[in-house]
Structure 1
């Protein structure tokens, strides 16, 4: 009799545990634009930087209206907030490149003295940031192929930088799979 009670209790616990709701992955707006990408950078149709990693990720607002575009110092360096349209997987706009601050310098009139470091005779004034303008940025679902042939999303960006006026860059590539075999 005791054995039957244990079996019934065990089946009851298993039955109750099986009734839990299935976990549903909750996505924040703009998360489909987020990812790590292996890209080539071209200008005038010629590759100027080959297979480097860039990242796109949501801002703290998590509203899908802006994303960060960040190359982690591999291409320019660039890190800027860009306007996004999560509904059609696109982003475009001009953003301050926080990796490229602009300074002006004022020299101080200091009498030459061996005890004064020359660097202490210069004032550095923060003026703002260089900018990146992304004319066209889009994520294409299943539009790319990884190094090992896996179907992945692709990214296309057409951009200019304020510290290289007149030069248009195309940054194009595919989503990182996370597998070592696909890394460059």
Structure 2
């Protein structure tokens, strides 16, 4: 699994992250303010012993509120696609000690970073067609997490909020079903066109992976950056 993570990271090195020139996302009036922010992070195995990915300026995780702005409901997004990950999580507890409210694959939300209707090699040629694709990291849950005020230290020695998350990643297959493209979106309005959309996902527990994300909040000061 370490090889897979390294492979994904190498791909990311040659990609331009859309967040590279941005600071923290908008979190004003957020009901998840204690969670929200940008974090530098390292990736460890599930025992927090073996380091897979070290600190780097480009390797950042965003935690931010959902459009519903509910307490204990957040998006977690890996901007550099080490996993890759962009998922919505619902937590029990609070920012200093939290975990997912559910760990059942059927009740978790999709990882938007990997659900891709463009993934199948060929476009559908009609309705009622399906294609199934092996997919890593379809969904995920947080086994345990902590964001502790001033419990970490930046590269310049300043106190900063620490981040600890043990995350479980679920893989398997994703099935896409064919749909008709609306006339306004067709290359030629006179010619029928079809595309794929997400239909369902199947879980394979033999592919489970668990990692530890360890890091600290980004302060916004250049001397504290990696």
TM range (shorter): 0.5 to 0.7
User: Does the C-alpha gap of structure 1 residues 89 and 63 become closer, same or farther in structure 2, counting only changes over 3 Å?
Assistant: farther
| Distance (Å, rounded) in 1 between the aligned partners of 2:31 and 2:169 | 28
Q: CA deviation at 1:131?
A: 0.5
User: Does the C-alpha gap of structure 1 residues 143 and 59 become closer, same or farther in structure 2, counting only changes over 3 Å?
Assistant: same
Instruction: For residue 132 of structure 1, give the secondary structure of its aligned residue in structure 2.
Output: strand
CA contact (8 A) 2:147 2:164 kept: yes
Instruction: For residue 161 of structure 1, give the secondary structure of its aligned residue in structure 2.
Output: strand
Structure 2 counterpart of 1:72, from 79, 89, 92: 79
User: Does the C-alpha gap of structure 1 residues 121 and 67 become closer, same or farther in structure 2, counting only changes over 3 Å?
Assistant: closer
Match of 1:100 in 2: 114
Instruction: For residue 114 of structure 2, give the secondary structure of its aligned residue in structure 1.
Output: strand
| Distance (Å, rounded) in 1 between the aligned partners of 2:86 and 2:123 | 30
User: Does the C-alpha gap of structure 1 residues 120 and 87 become closer, same or farther in structure 2, counting only changes over 3 Å?
Assistant: closer
Output aligned runs, 1:3-22, within 5 Å: none
Q: CA deviation at 1:74?
A: 3.4
1:174 aligns with 2:216: yes
Structure 1 stretches of 5 or more lacking a match?
A: 1-25, 106-117
Q: CA deviation at 1:85?
A: 4.5
Match of 2:67 in 1: 60
Match of 1:23 in 2: none
Structure 2 counterpart of 1:29, from 18, 24, 31: 31
RMSD: 3.0
CA contact (8 A) 1:37 1:174 kept: yes
CA contact (8 A) 1:53 1:74 kept: no
Match of 1:47 in 2: 51
Instruction: For residue 97 of structure 1, give the secondary structure of its aligned residue in structure 2.
Output: coil
Structure richer in helix, relative to its length: 1
Q: 1:118-158 CA distances to partner (integer Å, 9 max, x unpaired)?
A: 94577664889800121112211111111111101011100
Structure 2 stretches of 5 or more lacking a match?
A: 1-27, 101-107, 172-205
Question: Is the radius of gyration larger for structure 1 or structure 2?
Answer: 1
Q: CA deviation at 1:88?
A: 4.7
Q: 1:2-28 CA distances to partner (integer Å, 9 max, x unpaired)?
A: xxxxxxxxxxxxxxxxxxxxxxxx743
After TM superposition, the score normalised by the length of structure 1 is 0.68
| Distance (Å, rounded) in 2 between the aligned partners of 1:183 and 1:29 | 27
